[in-house]
Amino acid sequence: MDLKSKIILIAGPTASGKSKFAVQLAKKANGEIINADSMQVYKELKILTARPKKIDQKKIKHHLYGIQSVKKDFSSGKWLKHANKKIKEIRKRNKIPIFVGGTGLYFKSLTDGLSKIPNIPINFRNKIRNLQKNIGQEKFYNKLIKLDPKIKNYAKSNDVQRSIRAYEIKKYTKLSILDWFEKTKKKFNQNEFLKIYIDFPRYLLLKRISKRIDQMFKEKVINEVIRFNKLKVKKDKSANKVIGIKEITLYTKNIGTLEDTKEKILIKTRQYAKRQTTWARGQMQTWIKLDPENLNSYIKNLS
């Protein structure tokens, strides 16, 4: 397989050894690693998000890790913009971009593209909203179908938000919302991607998760959470969703024992790994599934 023109994607559930595998693959393929994990972008949460170790980052150049303050949100759109820029930079150096992470939406935005949202004036949008409110959703939807027949499968008759969005885009851009999405999507050629999913047996994965949690506490993750709480991050910010913040915060307030805290984090992490696996089953059917025992042999056989 000629890897020179490829963009390599490495996905898998949390604690499946993606980062280590990515480093080994990067050495073999002359690549650089790009983060595809929505929580590893936060610079203040290094231990809790299991960011790659400094020793590995010295061996291979890593990108998009710890680039965002926890006080700000970081959308898949922002990530994709950064990711596309990194692909160009890495290819200019005649190296191979290797994405690694567990955020399915990041990978999907890269492989399928994201549509630009048209910048419609607020006065124009308010007129559409007032129209829907005045005539009711049933009549509004019928008007929409006449205006843009294509959207029957996009917006159901009771879907107010999608109906309004479809109506305003058609009125403002003269294009169906579906045509707009297709026109503004930037896609790579699917043949450019080498998609790898590390398919860890569940019973082994659970052991690895438990081991990782113990290691986090050895690395003083409690201090990291204390520092995070001192920043007084607003409750609606995405960084608050990082597993362990809530549980360790309660522990620092003398609520629960250390073992109880670890157990709560373990349960949440297991649930997260299950959601990742379910996503992969539905959205990553065409990916190469690698058993963890075959990772080394796969790298050796790459040309």
Select the more confidently predicted residue: 210 or 77: 210
Mean pLDDT value across the chain: 93
Residue pLDDT, tens place only, 251-263: 999 999 999 999 9
What pLDDT does 280 receive? 94
Could you identify the residue written with the tokens 């056989």?
301
- Judge contact between 151 and 144, C-beta under 8 A: yes
pLDDT band, residue 1 (cuts 50/70/90): low
- The Cα 276–Cα 281 span in angstroms is 9
pLDDT at 229 over 70: yes
Tell me the percentage of the chain whose pLDDT exceeds 70.
98
Extract the tokens encoding 203. 């019973």
Task: Find the angle CA(79)-CA(69)-CA(216) to the nearest 5 degrees.
Answer: 95
Q: pTM score, two decimals?
A: 0.82
- For residue 303, pLDDT over 80 is answered with no
The mean pLDDT of 157-166, rounded to a whole number, is 92
pLDDT at 21: 95
pLDDT of 73 > 70? The answer is yes
Digit-coded pLDDT (tens) for 164-215: 999 999 999 999 998 888 777 767 788 899 999 999 889 999 999 999 999 9
Which sequence spans correspond to the domains of the chain? 7-114+189-301, 122-184
Per DSSP, the residues of 104-125 read HHHHHHHHH--PPPP---HHHH
Summarize pLDDT for 258-282 with one digit per residue, the tens.
999 999 999 999 999 999 999 999 9
- Residue 185: per-residue pLDDT: 72
pLDDT of 6 reads 92
Mean pLDDT of 50-70: 95
- C-alpha 138/C-alpha 83 separation (Å) is 42
Model confidence pLDDT, tens digit, residues 4-26: 889 999 999 999 999 999 999 99
The number of beta carbons lying within 10 Å of the beta carbon of residue 266 is: 18
Mind listing the pLDDT tens digit for each residue in 214-228? Answer: 999 999 999 999 999
- Look at the block and give the residue holding tokens 């607020």: 122
CB of 18 within 8 A of CB of 291? no
The CATH code of domain 7-114+189-301 reads: 3.40.50.300
DSSP state of 149: G
Local structure of residue 34 (DSSP, 8 states): E
